[in-house]
Structure formats: structure tokens, C-alpha cells
């Protein structure tokens, strides 16, 4: 294991929705009140306790209080590994073992989401919903029956590729941009037949475009940005985003440095991407997938050292995206705070977003697509 599980869970590595009808006034209520009542889903996030001790799976009171204060109702976490590891399936099972022990030590705090209605149950019972997913299919390869095994264990989302090429297709930094393989098409068919959610994040441009075309059911790009605003391979073209929307899917906006050419986006740049994606996708097909944990990291020397160590590993293994280097930290600094979603909602409202649009962005759109993918 290259990174300890507590760091990964903390985000250091990297029912049907309610129907809202009629016109909605510009959102003017305090965001704190809004988040208290809203369904907030992070389409790609993390969990963890920066105040806990290694080997202790029960969260500290402070760690849980900060997770609750984030306002997140449910988050999709990642069962590693990513990349073409020789023991990828064994690593995946190891991570799932840890997730199960982690949730098992905190049954009053976390609820594993197996159907969309569980997210509302988590909200009603004061817990956080945990959605198990992968960010690669390298642990599956040609053994497609593993997908059914993953579903039985609670996994609900499978990302087709990570940054590099795997047997399913090319990732976002693969220079040939060769697209989807025959096995990739078969993998998509099996994912959808098992009523799991297909995720195309980190895919190569051609892979994503071909995978959307090959899909028969609603799908997601859980965490990305607008390539029209910054031409980075981790961002997605307007054409592909529209194709996802046309299939009934959702595209999640990440809070990541790839949003700007200098790899240090301001809060205004993040909002620009949100505005652009709303224009491309429409209010029914946009979400958030922050690619961060709910508890913001305190930028101490220890934190920076840990991130630098992880960044060097990514560089050494060839999975780092363009612009990643020592000193690269996967956050938008202006929104590195426990109240980031409150402030994000307020900022969108000041830009003219309606309450209805903000509610859909922050959770209702992912809630809908989860129901359609898992149960429809």
C-alpha cells in the first residue's frame, strides 16, 4: 500500500429526488440554514479524521463534529488502487476490508449507501451516507464477473479509467488518445447490466466520448472542470458534457488546481467554471465532486510534507497529470474551509443562481441519477 488508509480516506491522496416546480426566487437565505435542510452530495470526496490516531477506526468527537459541520449528506469514496498494479484486485479487497471496519466502528455516524433512498435515511438519522466506488477498472481487467462480486460487497460506482491506459481504454494523460477498447465496451455493458453507475472521470477525451456513446443508461463524470475555460486533460469538453446530459447523466465540478492554467485557481475561477457548466449542461445535469475530503486540511509543515511525499509517488509511478509537481496541493485555497459549501452557495446566489439551481447542483441531481442508475 503506497499511502496509508487514513490519509486516503481524509482526501489527502488526491428514494427519488424531490420534485421542485414553478419559478424559484434568487436564493437569499443564509447558506448555513440552507445546508442544514438540503441534501448535499459530493460526487467524489473522502472521509477521515485528521485528529485520529493511526490504527484507531472510531472517529474522534472533533473529527465527527467537523464532518457534520461541512454540511455534506453523502459522499462517494474511492476503493484503491489506481494504475496498473500487479496486485490490483488484492489491493482493492484490502481497501474494502478497511472501509468496512471503518464504517463498522462508526455505525451511528455512517451509513453505507446501497440505494438512493439510503441518502435520505442518512440525512434523517444524522449520519453521513458513504458510497463505495472505484477510480479505475485495472482491478477488474478481463475478469468481468468481478463486477457482480463488487456489487454484492456494496460497491455502487465504477470509474472506467484513471490517467493512464488500462485494458478498457486510454486515460486522460495517455498521449495516443486511442479511445475505448473492445473490453472497455464489454465492461460498460456489464456495469450497466449490474445496475451500477458508470463514471468517466480521468478518461481520455476520445475514451470519454466513445464511452458516452456506448452507454445505454445515465452515467456521470463525477469530478472535472470545463476544458473550454482551461485546456487541461483532466477537464472535459463542452461536447462530451452535453452528451452526458443527453443520456440523463450528471457532471460534477471539482475544487482542484486544474481549473486554471497557473494551477492556483481563485474562488472566482471556480465560480466561472460553475457558471460555464450550468450553461452547457442545464440545471438538471450539474453537480459537485470536489475531490477533497469534507474536513479541510490545515496547511501545516506536516501536511505539506505528507502531500509532497504522495506527489512524488504519483510522479514516480507516472500517474501525475500535467502541472503536478512537488508543491502541488489538490485544493482551491479560497475554499479550503469548513464552511466552503455555505460560502460557495452564497457566491453562486450573488451571481444570480436560483435556490432551485443551487439545490440541484449541491445534491439533488446526483440523487436523481443514483436512483436511475441503481434502481431504474
Containing domain of residue 43, as a range?
5-375
pTM given for the model = 0.93
Helix, strand, coil % over all residues of the chain, rounded to 5? 40, 10, 45
CATH number for the domain that contains residue 110: 3.20.20.140
Count of residues making up the chain: 376
Q: What is the DSSP string of 56-90?
A: --SPPHHHHHHHHHTT-SEEEEE-S--S--TTHHH
Total of domains in the chain: 1
d(CA 139, CA 321): 21
Measure Cα distances from 58 to 7, 68, 116, 119, 323 in Å.
Answer: 15, 15, 26, 22, 36
Q: Tens-of-pLDDT digits for all 376 residues of the chain?
A: 333 444 444 443 343 222 222 223 333 444 456 788 999 999 999 998 888 888 899 999 999 999 999 999 999 999 999 999 999 999 999 999 999 999 999 999 999 999 999 999 999 999 999 999 999 999 999 999 999 999 999 999 999 999 999 999 999 999 999 999 999 999 999 999 999 999 999 999 999 999 999 999 999 999 999 999 999 999 999 999 999 999 999 999 999 999 999 999 999 999 999 999 999 999 999 999 999 999 888 889 999 999 999 999 999 999 999 999 999 999 999 999 999 999 999 999 999 999 999 999 999 999 999 999 999 6
* Cβ contacts of 63 within 8 Å, gap of 6 or more: 48, 49, 50, 51, 52, 295
Query: Residue 153: how many CB atoms within 10 A of its CB?
Result: 16
* Cβ contacts of 175 within 8 Å, gap of 6 or more: none
Task: For residue 246, give the C-alpha cell.
Answer: 443527453
Query: What integer pLDDT is reported at residue 217 of this predicted model?
Result: 98
Amino acid at each position: 500500500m503506497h499511502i496509508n488508509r487514513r490519509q486516503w480516506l481524509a482526501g489527502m491522496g488526491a428514494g427519488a429526488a424531490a420534485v421542485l416546480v414553478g419559478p424559484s426566487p434568487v436564493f437569499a437565505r443564509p447558506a448555513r440554514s440552507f445546508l442544514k435542510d438540503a441534501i448535499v452530495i459530493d460526487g467524489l470526496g473522502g472521509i477521515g479524521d485528521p485528529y485520529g490516531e493511526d490504527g484507531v477506526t472510531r472517529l474522534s468527537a472533533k473529527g465527527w463534529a467537523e464532518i457534520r459541520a461541512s454540511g455534506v449528506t453523502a459522499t462517494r469514496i474511492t476503493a484503491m488502487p489506481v494504475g496498473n498494479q500487479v496486485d490490483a484486485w488484492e489491493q482493492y479487497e484490502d481497501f474494502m476490508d478497511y472501509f468496512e471496519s471503518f464504517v463498522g466502528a462508526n455505525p451511528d455516524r455512517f451509513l453505507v449507501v446501497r440505494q438512493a433512498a439510503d441518502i435520505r435515511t442518512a440525512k434523517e438519522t444524522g449520519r453521513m451516507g458513504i458510497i463505495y466506488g472505484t477510480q479505475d477498472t485495472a482491478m477488474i481487467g478481463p475478469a468481468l464477473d468481478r463486477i457482480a462480486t463488487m456489487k454484492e460487497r456494496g460497491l455502487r460506482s465504477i470509474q472506467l479509467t484513471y490517467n493512464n491506459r488500462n485494458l478498457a481504454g486510454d486515460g486522460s494523460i495517455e498521449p495516443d488518445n486511442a479511445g475505448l477498447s473492445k473490453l472497455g465496451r464489454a465492461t460498460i455493458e456489464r456495469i450497466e447490466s449490474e445496475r451500477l453507475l458508470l463514471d468517466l472521470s480521468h478518461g481520455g477525451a476520445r475514451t470519454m466520448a466513445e464511452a458516452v456513446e456506448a452507454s445505454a443508461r445515465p452515467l456521470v463524470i463525477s469530478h472535472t472542470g470545463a476544458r473550454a475555460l482551461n485546456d487541461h486533460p483532466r477537464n472535459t469538453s463542452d461536447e462530451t458534457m452535453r452528451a452526458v446530459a443527453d443520456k440523463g447523466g450528471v457532471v460534477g465540478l471539482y475544487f482542484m488546481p486544474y481549473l486554471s492554467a497557473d494551477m492556483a485557481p481563485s474562488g472566482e475561477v471556480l465560480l466561472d467554471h460553475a457558471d460555464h457548466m450550468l450553461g452547457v449542461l442545464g440545471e438538471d445535469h450539474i453537480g459537485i465532486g470536489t475531490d477533497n475530503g469534507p474536513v479541510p486540511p490545515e496547511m501545516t509543515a506536516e501536511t505539506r510534507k505528507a502531500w509532497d511525499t504522495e506527489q512524488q509517488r504519483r510522479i514516480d509511478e507516472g500517474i501525475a497529470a500535467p502541472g503536478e509537481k512537488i508543491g502541488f496541493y489538490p485544493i482551491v485555497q479560497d475554499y479550503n474551509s469548513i464552511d466552503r459549501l455555505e460560502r460557495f452557495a452564497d457566491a453562486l446566489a450573488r451571481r444570480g443562481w436560483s435556490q432551485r439551481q443551487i439545490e440541484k447542483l449541491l445534491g439533488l441531481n446526483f440523487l436523481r441519477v443514483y436512483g436511475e442508475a441503481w434502481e431504474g
